[in-house]
Amino acid sequence: MFDRLVGLPWIAEHPVAYPALQVVHVVGIALLLGSLVLLELRVWGLGRELPVAALARLALPLSLLGFGLAAGSGLAMFAAHPGELLANRPFVIKLGLLMLAGTNAALFHARGGLQRGDAVARAQTALSLGLWLGAIICGRWIAYV
């Protein structure tokens, strides 16, 4: 009943809308994680011939675009059945991981992690990768719990 009151159930019932949102979500995740991994590998010392600043100018806008696509499509899918998702443990864990990933990214950039490339920056990028992979794993588990 909660879903019908506050959600947009037509999204889940539409033959094209929900699958299209899933495609956009996956594309967003691919852009986000793919560009982040390249930048993180550079912070870890791989591809030293690539200037960090130049790689960041390419990778960070792609990451933000990917995040925007994933977040927008994710919110729309959430609107299709909010009550069901709020009761789903992997979904709630995913939201927590996303908040931690965002906080980690903000702290990384606030301290100039790209410019420093120090042990803390490498640890933060490893944490970032782990948080994003955890969010993806939880996202896949949503359907099976």
How many structural domains are present in the chain?
A: 1
**Which residue type, as a one-letter code, is found at position 138?**
C
Which residues touch 4 (CB under 8 Å, ≥6 apart)? none
When pLDDT is cut at 50, 70 and 90, the band that residue 2 belongs to is low
Residue 137 lies inside a defined structural domain of this protein: yes
Residue 38 lies inside a defined structural domain of this protein: yes
State residue 14's pLDDT score: 85
Residue 20 lies inside a defined structural domain of this protein: yes
Query: Which residues constitute the domain of residue 54?
Result: 15-144
State residue 4's pLDDT score: 56
State residue 43's pLDDT score: 96
Integer angstrom CA distances of residue 117 from 57, 62, 87, 123, 134: 16, 21, 40, 10, 24
pLDDT in tens, 80-122: 999 999 999 999 999 999 999 999 999 999 999 999 999 999 9
Cα separation of the two ends of the chain: 20
State residue 78's pLDDT score: 95
- Percent pLDDT > 90 in the chain is 88
State residue 57's pLDDT score: 96
State residue 3's pLDDT score: 52
Query: In terms of DSSP H, where are the helices of the chain?
Result: 2-6, 9-13, 17-43, 52-80, 82-86, 89-110, 113-116, 119-141
Residue 131 lies inside a defined structural domain of this protein: yes
State residue 32's pLDDT score: 97
Residue 9 lies inside a defined structural domain of this protein: no
**CB neighbours (10 Å) of residue 55?**
18
Residue 56 lies inside a defined structural domain of this protein: yes
Residue 7 lies inside a defined structural domain of this protein: no
